[in-house]
């Protein structure tokens, strides 16, 4: 009897060890409890997405040969507490390469998608590139490396804050932030909630589940954890809806009793989803990396809907983080950290006619603020009076500008757009 109990214990312990852990749903519930306003915002976003779907031409998938590919600029923040975890550029690039295969259905394992699901498998027309310019307009590799005293990060988002051993997010309207570090327990990753504040926006990934080389460790060494978490970041739910036979609100993914583990084979039916059975090879299940291989057309449409005008990821379409010519000067990572970050506010931003810069710091009254173009050339200069400066930008060409207070090193971006 004792032996039997011991065997059962070992078996269940083994199951826990072998199980992929994505805590995006737990994180989502934690954030909603802490911030009821976010729940309201999410309900509005869902309603807007449904509206968009209803107004879309029926019978089309929204993709044609002329559909532009969405290119998402990426910054990878590496937080390492031992030199071996300061992962190399090649490993970072291996992850970007996986994303570009998986989101374009150029992955080599499409043949493993069961015939019954192949018609639904989608090229999402989404690509990823490491950023070429940092938030201050300077040249960057798109990789920030930072030593940390933190042994393990968890769902508390410390990894996203320089003040507590992590690294601050780059502007989420211009970059997808990916934080890579040591995560507690079996946690492989989690995504922020769509619609959250910009300082939390992005995905967090365990170094053992990032890329296909170096610290990546089987069975999570094919980069699919990041494919999965970015799916959440683009509004996708787990395929089983995080409930018994739950709903992921995607029409062409079958209902499924619960998450899949390991590497299932053959047709497994649940929740009346025969004859097709569970789509356990979908990136939004929890199957091993080597055993997932598709997003569906429905998932693609959901993800791409987030880039529509007024939708939460629309601003990324206008990001110049991969295309801008860097201005001269040291990159973000090598500059000393600034205090009083919130002392200066720029609005509206983007601007069309005028931009107002408010300075909540008496010491700066009477100083000049200069506006520079991307080449670092001054295009305007005004005195801070009554804590406010106003620039007329109507005559300026569209694009990115930077405002800098006399005597300070920090620059504030100003995006000029057409009327």
**Residues catalogued as catalytic:** 229
- Residue 157, phi then psi, degrees to nearest 5: 70, 15
3-state secondary structure of 252: coil
Residue 332, both tokens:
């973000």
Q: What is the largest CA-CA distance in the chain?
A: 84
Which pairing describes strands 187-191 and 126-130: parallel, antiparallel, or unpaired?
A: unpaired
Q: Which is nearer to Ca ion, 230 or 250 (CB)?
A: 250
Contact 112, 281 (CB under 8 A): yes
- CB of 254: closest distance to Ca ion in angstroms? 6
CA 66 to chain centre: 26
Smaller CB separation from Ca ion, 283 or 412? 283
- Token look-up 């569906």 returns 296
From Zn ion, Ca ion, none, interface partner of 250 (C-beta below 5 to 8 A by class): Ca ion
Question: Pick from Ca ion, Zn ion, none: which does 225 bind, CB < 5 to 8 A by kind?
Answer: none
Does 253 contact Ca ion by CB under 5 A? yes
Question: Which is closer to Ca ion, CB of 182 or CB of 299?
Answer: 299
Binding partner selected for residue 248 from Ca ion, Zn ion, none, CB under the kind-specific 5 to 8 Å limit: Ca ion
- Shortest distance in whole angstroms from residue 258 CB to Zn ion: 13
Using CB under 5 A, which residues numbered 191 to 250 contact Ca ion? 248, 250
Q: Which stretch binds Zn ion (CB under 5 A): 17-25, 62-70, 358-366, 411-419?
A: 17-25
One DSSP character per residue, 370-381 reads: EEE-TTS-EEEE
Choose from Ca ion, Zn ion, none: what does 173 bind? Cβ within 5-8 Å by kind.
Answer: none
Nearest distance from C-beta of residue 27 to Zn ion, angstroms: 10
Smallest distance from Ca ion to CB 102, Å: 20
In the complex with Zn ion, the residue whose CB is nearer, 27 or 175, is: 27
Partner from Zn ion, Ca ion, none binding residue 22, C-beta < 5-8 Å depending on class: Zn ion
The smaller minimum CB distance to Ca ion, of residues 160 and 232, is found at 232
- CB closer to Zn ion, 204 vs 415: 204
Cβ proximity to Ca ion: between 148 and 253 the closer is: 253
Judged by beta carbon distances under 5 to 8 A according to partner kind, the member of Zn ion, Ca ion, none in contact with residue 134 is none
The residue whose two tokens read 């995504």 is: 191
CA distance 364 to 376: 22
Q: Map the footprint of Zn ion across residues 112-171, applying CB under 5 A.
A: none
- Report the partner that residue 373 touches, choosing among Zn ion, Ca ion, none (CB closer than 5 to 8 A by kind): none
Question: Exactly one of 15, 19, 22, 154 binds Zn ion (CB under 5 A); which one?
Answer: 22
**Of 200 and 367, CB closest to Zn ion:** 200
Write the burial class of residue 211 (CB in 10 Å: 0-12 exposed, 13-18 middle, 19+ buried). Answer: buried
Q: Which residues, 6 or more positions from 184, have their beta carbon under 8 angstroms from its beta carbon?
A: 152, 153, 154
Cα–Cα nearest to 22, from 199, 240, 269, 200? 240
For 93, phi then psi, to 5°, come to -65, -35
For residue 189, the minimal CB distance to Zn ion (Å) is: 8
Least separation, in Å, of the C-beta of 232 and Ca ion? 15
Contact partners, residue 213, CB within 8 Å, separation at least 6:
90, 91, 94
Closest contact distance (angstroms) between CB of 373 and Ca ion is 49
Q: 24, 148, 192, 282: which one contacts Zn ion (CB under 5 A)?
A: 24
Do the bridges between strand 411-416 and strand 344-347 make them parallel or antiparallel, or are there none, so unpaired? unpaired
- DSSP secondary structure code for residue 408 in this structure: -
**Region from 18-26, 76-84, 207-215, 411-419 binding Zn ion, contact rule CB under 5 A:** 18-26
Question: Which of 262, 169, 269, 268 is CA-nearest to residue 220?
Answer: 262
Binding residues among 45-104 for Ca ion as defined by CB under 5 A: none
Binding mask 1-40 for Ca ion (x = CB under 5 A): ----------------------------------------
Binding-site residue total for Ca ion (CB under 5 A)? 3
**Number of residue whose CB is nearest Ca ion:** 253
Rounded-to-integer distance, Cα 108 and Cα 293, Å:
9
DSSP 394: T
- The kind and range of the H/E element at 97 are helix 89-102
**Segment contacting Zn ion by CB under 5 A, of 1-9, 22-30, 147-155, 216-224:** 22-30
Q: How far is the CB of 248 from Ca ion (least distance, A)?
A: 5
With CA atoms as reference, report the closest residue to 46 among 235, 231, 233, 315.
235
- Burial letters 224-248, b for 16+ CB under 10 A, else e: bbbbbbbbbbbbbbbbbbbeeebeb
Tokens of 24: 């995006």
Q: Which residues bind Ca ion (CB under 5 A)?
A: 248, 250, 253
Q: Which residues bind Zn ion (CB under 5 A)?
A: 22, 24
């Amino acid at each position: 009897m004792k032996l039997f109990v011991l065997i059962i214990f070992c078996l269940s312990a083994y199951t826990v060890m072998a199980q992929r852990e994505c805590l995006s749903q737990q994180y989502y519930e934690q954030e909603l409890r802490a911030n009821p306003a976010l729940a309201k915002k999410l309900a509005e976003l869902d309603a807007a997405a449904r509206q968009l779907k209803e107004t879309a031409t029926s019978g089309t998938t929204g993709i044609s040969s002329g559909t532009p590919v969405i290119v998402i600029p990426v910054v990878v923040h590496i937080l390492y507490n031992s030199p071996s975890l300061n992962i190399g550029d090649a490993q970072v690039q291996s992850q970007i390469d996986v994303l570009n295969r998986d989101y374009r259905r150029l992955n080599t394992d499409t043949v493993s998608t069961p015939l019954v699901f192949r018609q639904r498998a989608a090229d999402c027309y989404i690509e990823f590139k490491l950023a070429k310019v940092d938030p201050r307009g300077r040249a960057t590799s798109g990789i920030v490396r930072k030593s940390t005293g933190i042994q393990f990060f968890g769902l508390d988002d410390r990894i996203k804050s320089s003040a507590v051993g992590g690294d601050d997010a780059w502007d989420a309207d211009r970059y997808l932030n990916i934080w890579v570090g040591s995560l507690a327990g079996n946690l492989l990753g989690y995504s922020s909630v769509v619609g959250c504040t910009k300082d939390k926006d992005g995905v967090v990934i365990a170094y053992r589940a990032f890329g296909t080389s170096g610290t990546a460790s089987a069975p999570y060494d094919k980069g699919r954890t990041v494919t999965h978490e970015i799916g959440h970041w683009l509004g996708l739910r787990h395929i089983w809806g995080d409930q018994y036979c739950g709903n992921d609100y995607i029409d062409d993914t079958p209902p499924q009793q619960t998450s899949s583990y390991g590497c299932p084979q053959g047709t497994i039916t649940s929740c009346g989803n025969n004859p097709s059975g569970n789509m356990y090879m979908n990136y939004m299940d929890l199957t091993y990396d080597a055993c997932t291989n598709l997003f569906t057309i429905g998932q693609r449409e959901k993800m791409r809907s987030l880039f529509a005008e007024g939708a939460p990821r629309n601003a990324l379409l206008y990001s110049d983080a991969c295309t801008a010519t860097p201005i001269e000067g040291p990159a973000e990572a090598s500059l000393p950290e600034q205090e009083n970050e919130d002392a200066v506010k720029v609005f509206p931003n983007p601007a069309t006619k005028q931009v107002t810069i408010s300075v909540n710091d008496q010491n700066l009254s009477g100083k000049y603020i200069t506006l520079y173009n991307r080449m670092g050339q001054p295009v305007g200069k005004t005195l801070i009076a009554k804590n406010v400066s106003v620039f007329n930008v109507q005559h300026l060409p569209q694009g990115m500008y930077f405002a800098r207070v006399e005597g300070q090193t920090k620059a504030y971006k100003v995006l000029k757009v057409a009327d």
